[in-house]
Amino acid sequence: MKELRPFFNPKSILIVGVSRKTYTFSYTLLKNLLEIFYEGKIYLLNPNATDILGIKSYHNYEDLPEIPELAVIVLGSDIINNIENLGKIGVKFITIQSEIKSDIENKELLDKLKNLCLKYNISYLGPSMIGIINFIDKFTNSIVPVRQHIMRANKKISEGIGFIAQSGGLAGALGWWTPFQKLPISKVIHLGKSFDINESDILKYYCKDNTIKVISIFLREITDELIKSVKLVAPKKPILVFYVGKDIQKEKQLEQAGGVFVLNYIELFEIAKLFLWCPEPNGSNLGIIGPSSGAIYIIAKEMRKQHLSLAKLNEISKEKILENVGGSTCKLGNPVDFWPPDKFIGTKICSIYKKASHILLEDESVNALFLALEFFIEIEFDFIIFKKIKEFYPNKPIISILIQAETEGAKRVINTASELKIPVFVNEIERAVRGYKLLYDYYSKIKKK
């Protein structure tokens, strides 16, 4: 495996060609490093400046006090000479974030780039890359904004998402955008042209990274090398894939290799919640609790489509449900439909969810629990009750779906559920059920291998 740590967590960084002009790519890169409190050493090279944002600027390569571990080139011109100079002083890792078109006119330039890097034993990323965001180690060389509050929210996570995107805009957006339910994100990368190091190399690196539990990839192109790497990594870590290309044969090969294909881009994060926070499912039989036959029927319809089943409770569980819940619950005891409740009081609804959850999860036939929360403020309850429930049944997934819930109450549920690591889907019933099926299928395939 190629040595990639200096790209993601360098001890020192040199920015070649950083500008004093605000809102330029190079200025933004430096500003990002300062705002996220990067702990390594920062060196700047600009012959026309003495300092930028309070950081000393050097005029010549020879003036640098040490060999930086990583150099970043953001100049639009004279790239080859700068790489030659970096090679001469002993720099071994370079990211080329300048735009270089890989057409016939630039073939000579690209050949020189490759030959120089071979000559000086340089590993390089790019050209035309947006950059890397490493939330865990407080590092980025992104040329678009990275917000301090997002970096701070992710730096203490133990396990998160590793994101690879063949799109600079989609990768860079992780610096200022977060999914609706707060998700732990470990690392993000856009590789650009990736002549030296490609997505296959990053995949292998992510596989060895203990802070990454789930890998999400946005792809425009699928290579044979990537298919081989997915086949190697998928049994160890789930790889969620959204592909926008046209090569159906390659798409099928990648799926056969173990890639978990999602239906749209946002599911690279939404479905990832299940893989991050849910234990391995032991079956396809579900328990459901909800306040509305309509919501329950929508869940049941998608279950049929995904070849999932309602768990058939034992007689003891069935009797407990019918005695403790009431409402419109069917004689089978599952799904639990507690409408209409005796009173519009949150404590009453809380008691129903608490009792029903314990009874369903205790039953051996129930492999996972779906909570439909279709509530208004009068029947809202504190979602923290599921902390103890989750501790009692750590081997059974609990998945929540907010359906037409009042906005403020929904926010409270999402915040608490995020702390408890319980996936919440907002008005996305079908996605929640389909996501469970992807989770179940993934682990089923692993066991077969």
Q: 53 and 186: one domain? A: yes
- CATH code for position 338: 3.40.50.261
pLDDT digits (tens, 9 = 90+) for 256-285: 999 999 999 999 999 999 999 999 999 999
Q: Which of 228, 245, 274 is the last residue of a domain?
A: 274
Residue 449: band (very low, low, confident or very high) from pLDDT cuts 50, 70, 90: low
Q: 202 and 317: one domain? A: no
pLDDT for position 102 = 57
b/e map 408-436, b = 16+ CB within 10 Å: ebbebbbebbbebebbbbbebbbbbbbbb
Question: Which is it for the CA torsion 382, 384, 388, 390, positive or negative?
Answer: positive
Q: Which of 257, 274, 291 is the last residue of a domain?
A: 274
Q: 238 and 309: one domain? A: no
pLDDT for position 103 = 56
- The yes-or-no verdict on residue 105 having pLDDT over 70 is no
Strand segments, DSSP code E, in 220-307 are 239-243, 260-261, 285-290
b/e map 350-360, b = 16+ CB within 10 Å: bbbbbbbbbbb
The Cβ of residue 179 has, within 10 Å, a number of other Cβ atoms equal to: 15
Nearest to 354 by CA among 315, 395, 398, 314: 398
Q: 96 and 224: one domain? A: yes
b/e map 155-177, b = 16+ CB within 10 Å: eebeebbbbbbbebebbbbbbee
Residue 111: band (very low, low, confident or very high) from pLDDT cuts 50, 70, 90: confident
pLDDT digits (tens, 9 = 90+) for 130-168: 999 999 999 999 999 999 999 998 888 889 999 999 999
Nearest to 9 by CA among 203, 182, 219, 186: 186
Q: 312 and 338: one domain? A: yes
- CATH code for position 199: 3.40.50.720
Query: How many domains is the chain partitioned into structurally?
Result: 2
Q: 373 and 299: one domain? A: yes
pLDDT for position 15 = 96
Q: Which range marks the domain in which residue 121 is found?
A: 5-274
Q: 193 and 296: one domain? A: no
Q: 11 and 132: one domain? A: yes
Compute the distance between CA of residue 252 and CA of residue 401 in angstroms, rounded to an integer. 31
Q: Which of 274, 294, 327 is the last residue of a domain?
A: 274
Q: 47 and 87: one domain? A: yes
Contact 278, 439 (CB under 8 A): yes
Q: 290 and 173: one domain? A: no
